[in-house]
Structure 1
Amino acid sequence: MRTFFSGLLTVVAMVAIVLAFPSLWVKERLVDSEGFVTTITPMAQNEQVQDYLASQIAEEAAEQVGIPATSAVVEPAARAYTHSDQFEADFVDVVSQQHAFLFDQAPAGSDTTTMQLDITDMVNRVIEQTGVDARVSGPILVPLSGSSGSGLEAGRYHEVGQQITAMAYLSLVVAVVAGLLALLIARRRSTVLAWLGVGVVASAVFAWAVAMFFADRAKDEVEAAEEGGREVSAVIIDGAATDLQDLALIVGAVGCGVVVLGIVGRLVVGRR
């Protein structure tokens, strides 16, 4: 009977482990606003992101102050800004806007069909660098997705985010409790440990697949955007997916270590 209950608890723990890792990553790195910013902020160093926003900022700054966008003043100032430390700080603010757009409930009467970047502060910084005495009140919005419901709508992931958070916590608790109980009542604890390690490896594989699915799905949703915005969105999406895949490799390696530890323990106990 002990063997039966231990085996049952081991299976439950393995299933919970498979769900726990990717759902915890989504909760901590995407649903949580601070985690989302941490995940996306390194994209500020990406050349495609810098060039796209420099182009948009230069165009808007030139329009606001009434000078050509190809001016020898505006474009260099915009490119210098996007390669500065200040740009990364402003990019964090912009990323926070996007998180609120996707995960908060959409305000009544707002545009819920198009995800946009508000680059008003960025434009004002570049205008200031050109020496022109002007300031834009804004908002200056740059679309990152298509319109008419073809892209990422406001509040689209509000309920999904809550559901994933609940699943993350529940699966973690079940994995820990079931795993510990399985080890406590098992006759061969090393065997249970090895199977729990298999569950960790399976969780890493599942997380890798989730990252690929997430990337493909998200890119499909911004397919209707204009080329520059679509490319920037792809960079951000790939960055988030890569973060999960890198962590999955680490978790998979840990799982393999647990499997080996369980097998070695079983061999040692068997010899005794």
Structure 2
Amino acid sequence: MRTFISAIATVLGILLAAVAVPAIWVDRNIVQEDGFVRLAAPLGKDSEFQRSLAAAAVGTIDTRAVPGFLSGLVQPMLEKAAESLTGLPGYPAAWEETLRRSHRLSFADPAAGSQGGASASSLTLDVAPLVALGSEEISRTTHLPLNPPDQTLINVGQPAQREWTERLATYAPMGYIMAVGSAVAFLLALVAARRRWTVLLAAGLGGLALAGLWGLGLQLGSARAQATDTGNAVANMFRDQFLAAAGKDFQTWITTAAVTGGVLVAAGIVTLFASRKRVRTSR
């Protein structure tokens, strides 16, 4: 009976861990605003993405308030502003604020209704802080009256993907409960086991197997996400860069799981030989 309980608890612990680890990663790096900003912030340092994003942001500046006789000067000013935007002192803060606004839009409560249709897609970039920065620079150098909008939206993904953000926000935090359940299950397995080395060995092999499955899932998920065209070049670039950053970050968790699994396997083997040595000595 003890062996049966130990086996069931070990399997349960592995199954719970299989869901808990990805869920915790998603909650910390996607659902939580600070984690999302930390993960996506380096994207603003990519030169190609910077140029494309700056051009898209500056291109949305409303120049209707500019007097007609100055309209011919506006387009060169916009092009110059797009080129110099990323070099402005306020660019890092504007990029971070862009990420924070975008996260709030993408994970807004649809019942609140405060964002209107802005939360339709899985990830909506609000580049208004960058537009405001460009408008401010143009106004400073030309004294032209420019009023930046409160929102300038670039949709990433398809509207149907909005459902996934709602599921992530709802279920990802449950990963912590599953992690506790996994730990309790393994503890129960160790207490109930007649041969504790079997639990250590099984848990280690399970950890190695999970690391492989997570790695495969990461590749398949990234490939599927990249196959979805957003219809916007800047959005596609952001998606690709973000997926690469997310994959690299989650890969460290996979590596940690693999190392932990290897340590548990080694501990199980050592415990096995130690127990056999004690038996021979007692004889």
Same fold flag (TM > 0.5): yes
Compare 116-125 and 259-268 and name the one that shifted more: 116-125
- CA–CA distance in structure 2, aligned partners of residues 81 and 90 of structure 1: 10
Is 2:179 the partner of 1:172? yes
- CA–CA distance in structure 1, aligned partners of residues 108 and 135 of structure 2: 32
- 1:4-43 alignment, distance < 5 Å: 4-43=4-43
Compare 3-12 and 131-140 and name the one that shifted more: 131-140
Q: Contact 1:53 / 1:82 at 8 angstroms: preserved in 2?
A: no
Q: Contact 1:29 / 1:35 at 8 angstroms: preserved in 2?
A: yes
Distance 1:24 1:227, change over 3 A: same
Post-superposition shift, 1:183?
Answer: 1.0
- 1:214-253 alignment, distance < 5 Å: 214-221=221-228, 223-253=229-259
Which residue does the alignment assign to 1:163? Answer: 171
- CA–CA distance in structure 1, aligned partners of residues 206 and 89 of structure 2: 43
What residue identity is the alignment partner of 1:172? A
- 1:119-138 alignment, distance < 5 Å: 119-130=127-138, 131-133=141-143, 134-138=145-149
- CA–CA distance in structure 2, aligned partners of residues 146 and 170 of structure 1: 30
Which residue does the alignment assign to 1:212? Answer: 219
Q: Contact 1:120 / 1:140 at 8 angstroms: preserved in 2?
A: yes
Gapped regions of structure 2 (runs ≥ 5) = 279-283
Q: Contact 1:118 / 1:139 at 8 angstroms: preserved in 2?
A: no
Out of 261, 267, 275, the position equivalent to 1:261 is: 267
What residue identity is the alignment partner of 1:158? E
What residue identity is the alignment partner of 1:271? K
- CA–CA distance in structure 2, aligned partners of residues 99 and 7 of structure 1: 43
- CA–CA distance in structure 1, aligned partners of residues 89 and 266 of structure 2: 46
Which residue does the alignment assign to 2:101? Answer: 97
Which residue does the alignment assign to 1:57? Answer: 57
**Backbone CA RMSD of aligned residues:** 2.7
- Give the secondary-structure state (helix, strand or coil) at the position aligned to 2:125: strand
- CA–CA distance in structure 1, aligned partners of residues 181 and 157 of structure 2: 41
Q: TM-score, normalised by structure 2?
A: 0.81
Post-superposition shift, 1:76?
Answer: 4.5
Post-superposition shift, 1:203?
Answer: 2.7
Q: How many residues align?
A: 265
- Give the secondary-structure state (helix, strand or coil) at the position aligned to 2:40: helix
Post-superposition shift, 1:92?
Answer: 1.9
Q: TM-score, normalised by structure 1?
A: 0.84
Q: Contact 1:120 / 1:136 at 8 angstroms: preserved in 2?
A: no
Q: Contact 1:119 / 1:141 at 8 angstroms: preserved in 2?
A: yes
Gapped regions of structure 1 (runs ≥ 5) = none
Which has the larger Rg? 2
Compare 106-115 and 120-129 and name the one that shifted more: 106-115
Which residue does the alignment assign to 2:154? Answer: 143
CA displacement 1:143-164 (0-9 Å, x = unmatched): 23367x3x644x6522442123
Is 2:85 the partner of 1:81? yes
- CA–CA distance in structure 2, aligned partners of residues 185 and 100 of structure 1: 47
- CA–CA distance in structure 1, aligned partners of residues 63 and 204 of structure 2: 60
